[in-house]
Amino acid sequence: MKSLIRKCALGTVFVAMTTAASAATFVNVLTGGTSGVYYPLGVTLSQLYGEIIPDSKVQVQATKASAENLNLLQAGRGEIGFSLADSVSDAWKGNADAGFAKPLDKLRAIASVYPNYIQIVALADADVKTLADLKGKRISVGAPRSGTEINARAILKAAGLSYADFAKVEYLPFGESVELMKNRQIDVTLQSAGLGVAALRDLSAAVKVNFVPVPAEVVAKVGDPAYRAAAVPANTYEGQAAEVPTVAINNLLVTNDKVSNEVAYQMTKGLFDNLERLGNSHSAGRQIKLEKAVEGLPIPLHPGAEKFYREKGLIQ
């Protein structure tokens, strides 16, 4: 009898442990390369979510950014991730040229956050002052099919250029591109990132560089409403004394339709309740504004995020 009672007790403990384990909420935050902007913001988000989401197990994952994040979300291998708005639009439509063999119909929006700026930086002695001067140079355009590389194709095409016009094309993340620049193995790096990205701060502090402007007429030729004329403010980087005309594209935080309404609500609320903390983790975080959170979204909002915005009066 005692043996039977003991077995029953052990069984009850096992069931309780199993139930507790199954109740854990897993949140995988998908970012980008560690030298970009997505990663430090993602680390801060992961810390916040670990604090505010009950029984959560949160981790942050470095990835190749936009396209990979969207494919992981579609496959249920992440709960929230960063991506450029044009990549999200391509994923939703199933644009094979952008790396999406079929429409990613499980994607749902959490928020529009901050803009990326296309920043084209050349070694000062490479004699690159305009987009036309890029012909014959050695360039890195970002990791293959990353948001940066998709942006590179669009801008170069609008400027009448293709990869065939370069002496060499490298498909490398930000940090590796900068190392090649420092070693003079390439002449130019194109990076689509928030202002003050660490890789370009490092580069401009190490060698003399020139920031190449993207004129507004080139931006207009892209023909995608996600691309808008903007400027990198003067003195964003060492030695960059003048404002540089370029392109801005919004970044989004994206989830999938398998994430519960409550978790999506908490992820959205946690984001906007802690903007100061995000801004302290990277200057790009200071550009995140609640009033712009639902602007220009190319995919449906997650119902949990929608609930938060209704509470704030952004959606009627």
* Residue 63, domain member (yes or no): yes
* Residue 136, domain member (yes or no): yes
What is the reported pLDDT for 111? 98
Burial 292-304 (b: 16+ CB within 10 A, else e): bbbeebbbebbeb
* Residue 17, domain member (yes or no): no
219 with 298, same domain: the answer is: no
3-state secondary structure of 57: strand
233 with 258, same domain: the answer is: no
183 with 88, same domain: the answer is: no
* Residue 3, domain member (yes or no): no
106 with 255, same domain: the answer is: yes
Number of domains in the chain: 2
**CA-CA distance, 143 to 122, in Å (whole number)?**
18
71 with 50, same domain: the answer is: yes
What is the reported pLDDT for 7? 46
200 with 303, same domain: the answer is: no
At 202, which CATH number?
Answer: 3.40.190.10
Give the residue from 217, 249, 281 where a domain finishes.
249
Domain span including residue 216: 116-249
144 with 163, same domain: the answer is: yes
What is the reported pLDDT for 271? 98
168 with 238, same domain: the answer is: yes
* Residue 9, domain member (yes or no): no
* Residue 10, domain member (yes or no): no
Q: For residue 33, with 0-12 CB atoms within 10 Å meaning exposed, 13-18 middle and 19 or more buried, which class applies?
A: buried
86 with 191, same domain: the answer is: no
What is the reported pLDDT for 146? 87
Give the residue from 233, 249, 265 where a domain finishes.
249
Question: Which regions in the chain score pLDDT beneath 70?
Answer: 1-23
133 with 208, same domain: the answer is: yes
What is the reported pLDDT for 59? 98
Beta strand pairing call for 138-140 and 188-193: parallel
For 175-180, which contacts have Cβ atoms below 8 Å and span 24 or more sequence positions? Answer: 175/33, 175/34, 175/35, 175/199, 176/140, 177/140, 177/142, 178/35, 178/202, 178/203, 180/140
Torsion over CA: 162, 191, 218, 68 (sign): positive
Write down the residue that tokens 């069931």 correspond to.
15
106 with 141, same domain: the answer is: no
* Residue 236, domain member (yes or no): yes
142 with 237, same domain: the answer is: yes
